[in-house]
Structure 1
Amino acid sequence: MTLSPTGAAMTIAIESRLAELGITLPDAPTPAANYVPYLVIGDMVHISGQISMADGALIKGRLGDDLDVAAGANAARACALNLLAQLKSACGGDLGRLVRVVKLGGFVNSTPDFTDQPEVVNGASNLMVEVFGDAGRHARSAVGVAALPRGVAVEIEGLFQIN
């Protein structure tokens, strides 16, 4: 597909892909404290950590305790949807401006003996590739932590390159 100078073809392709996947992006969540949801610096968008929340409800729990890997991956996917909502806002509503997903940083609320953080954060990584194809492949970290804000299961931050 050839991009027009405005990226209109890419915008249509991404919107079509979201519809094909049955995805409706949520509204970009507002910050819960004294920070901004994203910063655009040059061609990079730095998005603050998005906690696991779907349909306005927090996805709470601890991996290795009351949540399994599948539930954690679903929580990470919810974080990724919120990242995409923030990215759309940062791009003035035009996801076609995305050049590539650069990096995701994943934090998993988990017990000390839980070691499947990479599989949990795959919930977010897989969504980026499903939506953006090769441009969705990224560098990543997946870290286990003792607690996350509001008792949520997962928090993910992102770095994106735009045009």
Structure 2
Amino acid sequence: MTFETMTSESMTPERIVTLARAWIGTPYRHQASLKGVGCDCLGLLRGVWREALGPEPEAAPPYAASWAESAPPGCDPLADAAARHLLPVDGPPSAGDVLLFRFRAHLPARHCALATGAGTMIHAHDGAAVTEVALTAWWRRHLAQVYRFPGVEGG
């Protein structure tokens, strides 16, 4: 099924959250994107995109675990890709939204997650399996941008 054939009824925030929750327990694997086998934060987002919308709009280039720390000034590849393929959200995140985090003001956004609503999110990070956690004050301080998948109604 392609994005063009999907209906707005099938593309709800609840469907995105359901798809993301199916990844819980997937081990962390740098650059991977296979549910139950391994993924990193971007791999989780890519996998949910494939399940919700079909083929990914572009291939993720190879990246080192420390890519953000070595990025040239002004380079923000994760945020740039999000802006190309996702819809910006003004205001606080809601269920199904894509969250981008910047851990240092002078560095690019380097982590992503999916909001599950009521102050929670699903993400993958080094040393742990995909998990649903509270969107605590620490995470909120580092939240750089909020996006929504194209075609998702509500939120």
TM-score w.r.t. the length of structure 1 is 0.26
Question: Based on CA coordinates, which of the two structures has the bigger radius of gyration?
Answer: 1
User: Of Structure 1 and Structure 2, which has the larger fraction of its residues in helix?
Assistant: 1
